[in-house]
Each structure stands twice: as structure tokens, then as C-alpha cells.
């Protein structure tokens, strides 16, 4: 599943390709991908010019020149392709085709069909976006705020990191890496983290995500393969996917456990199980 760094990379890649291009026609081949009103989507999006390319949490956020907006969540397998002809594409899993003024096609492919598009008229609101928490790189976010969020949260550190209403954009891979970076067991109750540990947590979130953005996202190739972006971050992962390998810090053995139905990787020596848990 694409997380903040992958989504950011997809947005920046699409910006290079689509800035100021205009949608001249749209074909929706699988209606349920459009989460907001389908008829409004189909009638409003024709004629729209791509103007701003943003990201909110794990959502791609396009703002058109008339300030109408489009949010896209790629979920598990969503990908964009830009093609000069549809003949070169396997149309089986392509669910939306936008024809562009530049005589290209922007195609949305999704083998699992879990991705969702949300069209928002200028000045409108989307409940999915309104409930998102802090952006990790928000300049208003600081260690004191993270400490308060942790104290008011009634669960463990890994759940907190995955909860999009607290700090958004982090998924399973980076949650595992962040817990390792701060040397905390994923099941540590957030209320037990001290003020300085909240500072360290925010530092770890920012450094891991920014390294990943710089590397172009873990699996970016599969999200925008036609755009030739290669993800290299996998090489820098310390624990995720490395069960039975050696911990780079202590040479202990990294383990994998299913916690909250998610594959959780950690070093039992560096990340001691909290008392009573
Ligand atoms: Zn270790």
C-alpha cells in the first residue's frame, strides 16, 4: 500500500507530466471508483485544467484552475499511467480514462478496485479529508503537541502511528521503521512515552519519511511504472520484511509478529516488551 512518501512521489511525478494540461473527455469504466456523485464527476471534470498538485495524508490532491478539486486514494494497487495511445495498454484493469488536450491519455489502473476518487466543488468539504490529523511536516506540529496526542490516546504506539486522525500518511512499513528508530516496542502504551520521547518520535517520523521521499518511495515503480520512477528506499529499511535477519544495532534477531492483523517487525532486544504487556 502506498504511504506518504510514495503518494508524494506520485504527485510530484504527475505534476511534471500534467501541469496545465486540460481534460477534454472522460470515460469511467467502473463506476464504484468514484466515491462522490458519478454524474457530477463526469460532467464537471471535462474542461478542467490541472493547476496545483498536492498531497494530504495518503490522498493525492489535484486543484484545477477554477479551484474545483479532485482527491484520489490509491489504496492497495491504484496506479496512474500516461499514454499516447490506448493500444499499448492492457485495458482489463483500467477503470478511468481521461483524454488530455496534449493528445495523451491519463489512465487509472487498479487490479483490486479499492482505490477511490472524490470530486469536490470549489469551497466544498470532504469528510474523509476533514477528519485527517496533522501532516508530519506541518510547521505547527511539535514535540509538545505529539506528547499531548500520545497522552490522550488509549492504545499502543503502532496503532497511534497508523491512525490517520492523529498524524496522517504513515502506513505499516514506516510504522515498523519508526518504532525501531525510537527503540520502542510496537505495543508500548502511548501514555507511557515521556516528553523527550515525544520529541524523538517526531524526529524519527520526519527523518524516515523525508529519507523515503528523497529515495522516491519504496515501491514507486509499481505505482507509476510508465513514468519511469524507481524506488530505492527498500534498501534503507532496517526491520520491515527482515524477520530472522540480524538487527543492525545489536546483532540480535529481528522477529515478525502479527499485531492488529498487520505484519509487525521489530528487534526484541532493542525494543523491549513493556512491563505488563
Ligand atoms: Zn537490536
CA of 147 to the centre of ligand 1 (A): 25
pTM score: 0.92
Cβ neighbours for 10, distance < 8 A, ≥ 6 positions apart: 2, 60, 74, 80, 217, 220, 223, 224
- Give per-residue pLDDT as tens, 132-170: 999 999 999 999 999 999 999 999 999 999 999 999 999
Q: Where are the extended beta strands (E) located within 35-77?
A: 50-56, 59-64, 69-73
Q: In what order do the strands lie in the sheet with 79-83?
A: 23-28, 94-100, 105-109, 79-83
Cα 251-256-258 angle, rounded to 5 deg: 155
Distance CA 251, CA 236 (A): 17
Q: Supply the residues annotated as catalytic.
A: 2-3, 58, 262
From-to residues of CATH 3.20.190.10 in the chain:
4-128
pLDDT for 153:
98
Contact in structure between 269 and 247 (CB atoms under 8 Å): yes
From-to residues of CATH 1.10.8.50 in the chain:
143-266
CA of 275 to the centre of ligand 1 (A): 18
10, 56, 88, 195, 221 from 81: Cα distances, Å:
11, 21, 11, 45, 11
Strand partners, 63: 52, 69
4-128: what CATH class? alpha beta
Q: Looking at domain 143-266, does it have CATH number 1.10.3720.10?
A: no
CA of 62 to the centre of ligand 1 (A): 42
- Give per-residue pLDDT as tens, 31-64: 999 999 999 999 999 999 999 999 999 999 999 9
Amino acid at each position: 500500500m502506498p504511504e506518504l512518501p510514495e503518494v508524494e512521489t506520485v504527485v510530484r511525478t504527475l505534476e511534471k507530466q500534467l501541469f496545465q494540461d486540460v481534460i477534454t473527455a472522460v470515460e469511467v469504466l467502473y463506476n464504484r471508483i468514484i466515491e462522490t456523485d458519478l454524474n457530477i464527476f463526469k460532467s464537471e471534470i471535462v474542461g478542467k485544467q490541472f493547476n496545483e498538485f498536492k498531497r494530504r495524508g495518503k490522498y493525492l490532491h489535484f486543484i484545477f484552475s477554477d479551484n474545483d478539486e479532485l482527491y484520489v486514494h490509491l489504496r492497495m494497487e491504484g496506479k496512474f499511467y500516461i499514454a499516447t495511445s490506448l493500444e499499448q495498454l492492457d485495458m482489463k484493469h483500467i477503470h478511468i480514462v481521461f483524454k488530455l488536450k496534449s493528445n495523451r491519455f491519463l489512465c487509472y489502473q487498479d487490479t483490486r478496485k479499492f482505490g477511490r476518487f472524490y470530486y469536490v466543488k470549489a469551497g466544498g468539504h470532504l469528510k474523509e479529508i476533514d477528519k485527517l490529523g496533522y501532516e508530519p511536516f506541518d510547521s505547527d506540529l511539535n514535540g509538545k503537541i505529539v506528547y499531548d496526542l500520545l497522552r490522550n490516546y488509549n492504545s499502543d504506539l503502532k496503532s497511534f502511528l497508523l491512525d490517520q486522525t492523529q498524524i496522517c500518511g504513515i502506513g505499516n512499513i514506516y510504522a515498523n521503521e519508526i518504532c525501531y528508530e525510537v527503540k520502542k516496542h510496537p505495543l508500548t502504551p502511548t501514555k507511557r512515552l515521556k516528553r523527550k520521547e515525544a520529541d524523538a518520535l517526531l524526529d524519527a517520523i520526519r527523518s524516515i519519511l523525508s529519507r523515503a521521499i528523497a529515495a522516491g518511495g519504496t515501491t514507486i515503480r509499481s505505482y507509476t511504472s510508465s513514468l519511469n520512477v524507481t524506488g530505492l528506499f527498500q534498501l534503507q529499511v532496517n526491520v520491515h520484511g527482515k524477520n530472522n535477519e540480524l538487527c543492525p544495532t545489536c546483532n540480535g534477531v529481528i522477529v515478525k509478529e502479527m499485531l492488529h492483523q498487520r505484519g509487525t517487525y521489530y528487534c526484541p532486544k532493542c525494543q523491549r516488551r513493556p512491563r505488563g504487556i
